[in-house]
Amino acid sequence: MNGRRIEKPGLNRGMMFQDCGLFLWMSTGENIMLALEPYFPGTEKRA
Residues of the chain with pLDDT under 50: none
Q: Is the dihedral of CA 26, 30, 33, 38 positive or negative?
A: negative
Chain-centroid distance of CA 8 in Å reads: 13
Tell me the whole-structure pTM to 2 decimals.
0.48
pLDDT score of 37: 85
Name which of 41, 42, 38 is nearest 10 in CA terms. Answer: 38
- pLDDT, residue 25, reads 93
